[in-house]
Amino acid sequence: MGKVLGIIGGGQLGMMLAEAAKTMPEITKVIVLDPTPDCPASQKGAEQIVADFKDRSAIITLAGKSDVITYEIESGDSDVLGSVMDKTDVNPSPETLRIIQDKLLQKQFLRDNGLPVSDFVGISGYDDLKAGLDSFGYPALLKARRDAYDGRGNYKIDSESFAQKAFEFFSGKNLMLEKFVPFKMEVSVISARNISGKIKSFPLVENIHENNILRQTIAPARVSKDVSLKAAQIANDTMSVLKGSGVFGIEMFVTNNDDILINEIAPRVHNSGHHTLQSSKTSQFEQHLRAILGLNLGDTTLLHNTIMYNILGPGDFQGEYDEPEISGDNVHLKMYGKKISKPSRKLGHFNLVGRNGQGIDELLEILDVLKSDSAVRPRV
Ligand code: ATP
Ligand code: MG
């Protein structure tokens, strides 16, 4: 008998998990919990419970209907998820989620396990911030410990005169301060750990952000063999101590000396893994489902050089929009079915796949043309 999969969150990640689930005989049905009626996952055939991600009774209802629960966002309530473990499996485990969803606990956990991170300190008041800035110097990043995404919970403090403003910006939230890493590249590893503890990673990719939001992922990352091996080792070591099963996105910095520091871990499928939909035999979405269902992990070999480009809502507009039309044998557009465009909202992505053996430079040239063709325009 196949299983019923429950997902906390039915945005684009939940949608692509639901699509992967359809291809797997082990899963008969997907139910998502999401506050937005007609969420992206429900448009692809998932049943939806319309409720807040942290709604206790909705989570209990979802647990009653599901054989296994997973999530596409890290802001779920780990206590409530922990309390339904007698009804259903929850993967990654609520304990792993509890550590990861608090940036300070996460960094402490990584440092305690000997993994490389930038210097950081917990901030309980303005005096702590001043002491931290004296010790780390400028710039430094003040970060909200919880519920941040797309860089919205970060404040870069360039000099002493911005300290007060930065502190007030967060008005009472729990905070941490981090030393700024002058990185030469941001990279990530999508790694999976299945229920029996087997770990498998996709090759290292390079991530280019614009205004703190991921815009472009280049697979594989343009780094030396040494750097990619080092990153793979760090990802593997991280997965060994994390314990939870599922796919994790491990974001890292490559410094000017080719050292690697972990920025943060997402306990879920990750935007920088979307290229796997076409570049690899197994997508990160199938891999996640394989991991949490106790199946063997799939092949993670990168078959083609690939660039993933995010389609974001334009900065000057909010409202209905026309979907871009781009095509080509090696262009794979995926829109997420969101009705309304908002500034920088992730509305879709496309993968440009080097199936004919194109190198990254050649793909980047093709991408230049596709970038403007894929721009979202207001509906008139
Ligand atoms: P996302 O949802 O995109 O993962 P987030 O809100 O969780 O983002 P972070 O990943 O902590 O935030 O930071 C967003 C971006 O800010 C990073 O990708 C990186 O470009 C930059 N950044 C974060 N921490 C540092 C640091 N210590 N030094 C330099 N840059 C940093
Ligand atoms: Mg991040």
User: How crowded is residue 294: how many other Cβ atoms within 10 Å of its Cβ?
Assistant: 14
Give CB contacts under 8 A, 24+ apart, made by 155-162. Answer: 156/180, 157/133, 160/133
Residue burial 87-99, b: 16+ Cβ < 10 Å; e: rest: ebbbbbbbebbbb
d(CA 107, CA 253): 14
Give the per-residue pLDDT at 270.
98
Ligand found nearest the CA of 103: 1
In the chain, the amino acid numbered 347 is L
Average pLDDT per block of 10 residues along the chain, 380 residues long: 95 98 98 98 97 95 97 92 94 95 97 98 96 97 90 92 95 94 97 97 97 96 98 98 94 97 97 98 98 98 98 96 92 97 97 97 96 93
Of 263, 312, 345, the one to substitute when testing ligand 1's pocket (max ligand atoms within 8 A of C-beta) is 263
CA 57 to ligand 2 center in whole angstroms? 30
Handedness of CA 132, 133, 138, 139 (dihedral sign): positive
The C-alpha atoms of residue 149 and residue 13 are separated, in whole angstroms, by 14
Verify whether ligand 1 is closer than 6 Å to residue 198 (CB atom): no
- The two beta strands, 3-8 and 27-34, are parallel
Q: What is the pLDDT of residue 108?
A: 98
What the block records as the tokens of 87 is 């009804």
Q: Which atom of ligand 1 is nearest to the CA of 207?
A: 18
Cβ–ligand 1 distance for 208 under 6 Å, the answer no
Question: How many A from CA of 120 to the centre of ligand 1?
Answer: 13
Q: How far apart are CA 380 and CA 368, in angstroms?
A: 26
Ligand nearest to the CA of 153: 1
Q: Are 324 and 333 in contact (CB under 8 A)?
A: yes
CB neighbour class for 107 (10 Å; exposed up to 12, middle 13-18, buried from 19): buried
Q: b vs e for 334-373, b when ≥16 Cβ sit within 10 Å of the residue's Cβ?
A: bebbbeebeebbbbbbbbbbbeeebebeebeebbeebeee
What confidence score (pLDDT) does residue 243 get? 83
Predicted pLDDT at 248: 98
**Measured from the CB, is residue 93 less than 6 Å from ligand 1?**
no
Contact 204, 228 (CB under 8 A): yes
Stated pTM of the model: 0.97
Q: Per DSSP, what are the bridge partners of residue 134? A: none
First to last CA, the chain: 49
pLDDT value of residue 1:
78
Q: What is the dihedral of CA 355, 358, 364, 366, to 10 degrees?
A: -70
β-pairing, 154-157 vs 205-210, is unpaired
Q: What is the pLDDT of residue 148?
A: 83
Atom number, ligand 1, closest to the C-alpha of residue 148: 6
**Other beta carbons less than 10 A from residue 40's beta carbon:** 23
C-beta of residue 322 within 8 angstroms of C-beta of residue 339? no
Q: Which of 212, 216, 252, 269 to mutate to test the pocket of ligand 1 (most atoms within 8 A of CB)?
A: 212
Closest residue by Cα to residue 66 from 273, 323, 292: 292
Query: What was the pLDDT predicted at 221?
Result: 98
CB of residue 154 inside a 6 A radius of ligand 1: yes
Going from the Cα of 213 to the center of ligand 1, the distance in angstroms, rounded, reads 9
Cis peptide before 324 (omega within 30 of 0): no
